[in-house]
Amino acid sequence: MYMEKVRLGFACVLTCCFMACTQSPGSTDKKLETNVENLLAQMTLEEKIGQMNQISPWGEPTQIAESVRKGEVGSILNVVDPVALNALQQVAVEESRLKIPLIIGRDVIHGFKTIFPIPLGQAASFNPQLVEDGARIAAIEASSMGVHWTFAPMIDIARDPRWGRIAESLGEDSYLTSVLGTAMIRGFQGKDLSDPTSIAACPKHFVGYGAAEGGRDYASTFIPERVLRNVYLPPFEASAKEGAATFMTSFNDNDGVPSTGNRFILEQVLRKEWGFDGFVVSDWASVAEMISHGFCKDGKEAAEKAVNAGVDMEMVSGLYVNHIKELLNEGKVKMETIDNAVRNILRIKFRLGLFDHPYVDTNVPSVLYAREHLQKAKEAAIESAILLKNENGILPLTDKIRTIAVIGPMADAPHDQLGTWVFDGDKNYTRTPLKTLQEEYGDRIRILYAPGTAYTRDKQTSGIPAAVAIARQADIVLAFVGEEAILSGEAHSLANLNLQGAQSELIASVARTGTPVVTVVMAGRPLTIEQDAAVSQAVLYNFHPGTMGGPAIADLLFGKAVPSGKLPVTFPRTVGQIPVYYSHNNTGRPYQGNETLLDGIEPEAGQTSLGNTSFYLDAGNYPLYPFGYGLSYTTFEYGNLSVSSDRMKPSDELTVTIEVTNTGKYDATEVAQLYVQDCFGSVTRPVKELKRFTRIPLKAGEKKVVTFTLPVEELAFYNIDMKKMVEPGDFNLWVGPNSREGLQTSFVVE
Ligand code: BGC
């Protein structure tokens, strides 16, 4: 990579010792700021630059310790051994001149040891409390191993399933991402950042990374300021308001400016408009990567542009250490800029209480994989599963089932069901569907197993006949298919989203036996499964469900739990429809849904005989499954939608009520969703925007009146003058089970 060697051997100019300034609980920020200033006043330039330097272990531990001793390192990432960390911390707080503790970072993305569903899966729960609980557990486990800081939540709006990092996202919607992203921050940071079980959050990647051209990771984005402000920035603004301690810049360049050198987003938006007072870290080597972008000619210019834009800490490329001094001497960087960066970093170190408790206690019982953590991970996996199809109510399985054929490469894939970004989780703790079914039902039901293919990309078809043979003997086939963990996540983009390898052939072959097929998908992204769904009687979709995926799926299949997940992202029918998302603007010739598609076109049809609306001749515009979609074993009916008034002022609060009835046979939970359309604006507006959602537990036959309150000011957007305001006019409002269905009413804002 572009890593420049960290220059070692700075001379210590001052020799005085710093007595740790500690923040006692309840102390005011003023005291903390005084502590920061006192410390800053004693720092040499080299020590200041050291605080701005984050390293990943690059050599001998003794070399690293020497750097820490000299005050050349402010943060370390990717060390998770508590003994080694305590040893390094000891060097920092006992042997370095100013005794400033290190802040230890780690990617704790969806669990530390106990792995929860990938964030995209957690988003399908539409359950902020569950998401918060998951992050709390991750923080408890990670902090017990010496981690102070996670690089999460990832709150990039992701509207392109080719992009592998969609797995780490909370989906395509700005509001859902804001609600769930802030829930994660609360979970990581706990009630008080100085609690030893709290870890600093780092909303990332600031900003626009998910809009990578063509879904190719790291690719350029072209997001105009209005779209940035209306869609991509709100989750970050909500995170700043929630008190997120740090932010991470993104790899992409937007309209030609890499985020790591983007003064507008870092200085104007983040600091001036939102008043953020934590610190900003670059992404891995993203300062140096501004050279490849063609934005900087060398490491020195990259350091200059990053620090002047507002990147306080540099992750791993070492360019600040190598160049800031020279840049200061040349007047290209101001001392004030350096001081502000160091202030931001020290402020967070104080808030985390690192000066009070720099060490991790290694003499306490382990909290890793605690029973209640596993239980919560199972709950999360249950609520994250989305039932996409259930023909003739084939699910849940009844006690009439005598023989089950378990097939597919994901039935027993302990590593792969954990998903991407699992650095610490151990696959030996994973409970797979096959093992769970054997353990929990093996005494009553004959469970036959023939995977058909060895792994998801396996193109060999030689195992398919064995799968077909067990399908013939069974009452039902459970086909576990999907993606291996390596196929999603960073730098893992795909151009084809069909099931990989011979999986579709496997499903089709067993389906031809006539035995009903329940397809259970485990994947890191929406896949184009139209053909597979068509030959399956039921489809249960799980974004990689984590450690407890097996027990969660078994409970769902047998009706001990009822599916309640809803799609946090649109499922395209085919890759060519991408980007496809529910909250798009309208064209002047909107798709009607009844257009003649390819097969209906007469030979030599006249040029205008098909009409002139906006759609794909071969695929239409509707996705396979819309945002917000997800079935249950029961049925729900929505009735009596009403709004408090059909004429509102911008300062009013709208109250929306609706009756939701469980009209089926199972106790279940429905996620009711409220969408609004601002019909006419000074700029065109999305056809629908999610504004509220709520989970409603309903016993079979039960009816509840659900009330939503929505301040009209939440309908504000950045208008033609780039001012955030509610524009008077007509609005439509829907409440329903997904972004395509629901009861509709309207109101006017005067
Ligand atoms: C990723 C970040 C991650 C960082 C540290 C980068 O490659 O983009 O999301 O936090 O590495 O591991």
Would you call 575 helix, strand, or coil by DSSP? helix
Distance (Å) from CA 548 to ligand 1 centroid: 25
- Residue 283 near ligand 1, beta carbon < 6 Å: yes
- Residue 284 near ligand 1, beta carbon < 6 Å: yes
**HSE of 689, CA atoms in CB hemisphere, 13 A:** 19
What is the C-alpha separation between 243 and 718, in angstroms, rounded?
24
What is the C-alpha separation between 407 and 440, in angstroms, rounded?
18
186-243 pLDDT tens trace: 999 999 999 999 999 999 999 999 999 999 999 999 999 999 999 999 999 999 999 9
Mean pLDDT in residue range 563-574: 98
| Atom in ligand 1 nearest the alpha carbon of residue 151 | 10
The whole-number pLDDT of residue 528 equals 98
Distance (Å) from CA 284 to ligand 1 centroid: 6
Q: Which residue has the least CA distance to atom 4 on ligand 1?
A: 284
Burial class (CB in 10 A: 0-12, 13-18, 19+), 30: exposed
pLDDT over threshold 90, residue 35: yes
- Residue 490 near ligand 1, beta carbon < 6 Å: yes
Q: Which residue has the least CA distance to atom 11 on ligand 1?
A: 284
Q: Which of 273, 281, 182 is nearest to 225 (CA)?
A: 273
Distance (Å) from CA 663 to ligand 1 centroid: 47
Pocket test residue of 283, 289, 488 for ligand 1, highest count of atoms within 8 A of CB: 283
Residue 60's pLDDT band (cuts 50, 70, 90) = confident
Mean pLDDT of all residues belonging to the chain = 95
The whole-number pLDDT of residue 193 equals 98
Q: Which residue has the least CA distance to atom 12 on ligand 1?
A: 107
pLDDT over threshold 60, residue 432: yes
- Residue 151 near ligand 1, beta carbon < 6 Å: yes
User: Which residue matches tokens 């009452």?
Assistant: 475
Amino acid in position 613: T
- Residue 107 near ligand 1, beta carbon < 6 Å: yes
Q: Which residue has the least CA distance to atom 8 on ligand 1?
A: 283
The 10 Å CB-count burial string (b at 16+, else e) for 65-104 is bbbbbbbbbbbbbebbebeebbebbebbbeebbbbbbbbb
139-161 pLDDT tens trace: 999 999 999 999 999 999 999 99
* Chain Cα centroid distance, residue 673: 20
Pocket test residue of 169, 259, 490, 493 for ligand 1, highest count of atoms within 8 A of CB: 490
User: Which residue matches tokens 């996996």?
Assistant: 381
Distance (Å) from CA 120 to ligand 1 centroid: 17
Q: Is 280 within 8 Å of 247 (Cβ atoms)? A: yes
Q: Which of 595, 552, 572 is nearest to 380 (CA)?
A: 552
pLDDT over threshold 80, residue 23: no
Q: Is 746 within 8 Å of 732 (Cβ atoms)? A: yes
Distance (Å) from CA 283 to ligand 1 centroid: 6
Least confident of 22-31, 108-117, 546-555: 22-31
Q: Which residue has the least CA distance to atom 7 on ligand 1?
A: 284
Mark residue 243 as left, alpha or beta (left: phi above 0; alpha: psi -120 to 50; beta: remaining).
Answer: left
Amino acid in position 309: A
Please name the residue ranges forming H helices in 477-579. Answer: 503-511, 530-534, 549-557
The whole-number pLDDT of residue 24 equals 37
Out of 283, 412, 532, 555, which one is annotated catalytic?
A: 283
What is the C-alpha separation between 653 and 639, in angstroms, rounded?
22
| Atom in ligand 1 nearest the alpha carbon of residue 168 | 9
Distance (Å) from CA 66 to ligand 1 centroid: 26
| Atom in ligand 1 nearest the alpha carbon of residue 202 | 10
User: Which residue matches tokens 């990039």?
Assistant: 156
Pocket test residue of 55, 165, 199, 284 for ligand 1, highest count of atoms within 8 A of CB: 284
| Atom in ligand 1 nearest the alpha carbon of residue 251 | 8
- Residue 544 near ligand 1, beta carbon < 6 Å: no
Least confident of 24-33, 81-90, 221-230, 296-305: 24-33
**Per DSSP, which regions of 436-587 are E strands?**
446-449, 476-482, 517-523, 538-543
Q: Which residue has the least CA distance to atom 2 on ligand 1?
A: 283
Do you find a cis peptide bond into 579, omega within 30 degrees of 0?
yes
Distance (Å) from CA 207 to ligand 1 centroid: 14
- Residue 571 near ligand 1, beta carbon < 6 Å: no
What is the C-alpha separation between 687 and 621, in angstroms, rounded?
14
Distance (Å) from CA 212 to ligand 1 centroid: 16
pLDDT over threshold 60, residue 12: no
Distance (Å) from CA 431 to ligand 1 centroid: 28
The whole-number pLDDT of residue 28 equals 56
- Residue 217 near ligand 1, beta carbon < 6 Å: no
Q: Which residue has the least CA distance to atom 5 on ligand 1?
A: 284
Q: Which residue has the least CA distance to atom 6 on ligand 1?
A: 284
352-402 pLDDT tens trace: 999 999 999 999 999 999 999 999 999 999 999 999 999 999 999 999 999
Q: Which residue has the least CA distance to atom 10 on ligand 1?
A: 151
- Residue 168 near ligand 1, beta carbon < 6 Å: no
283 catalytic per annotation = yes
| Atom in ligand 1 nearest the alpha carbon of residue 154 | 9
Over pLDDT 70: what percentage of the chain?
A: 96
Do you find a cis peptide bond into 153, omega within 30 degrees of 0?
yes
pLDDT over threshold 60, residue 495: yes
Mean pLDDT in residue range 125-129: 99
Distance (Å) from CA 243 to ligand 1 centroid: 21
What is the C-alpha separation between 244 and 381, in angstroms, rounded?
26
pLDDT over threshold 90, residue 335: yes
pTM, entire model: 0.96
531-548 pLDDT tens trace: 999 999 999 999 999 999
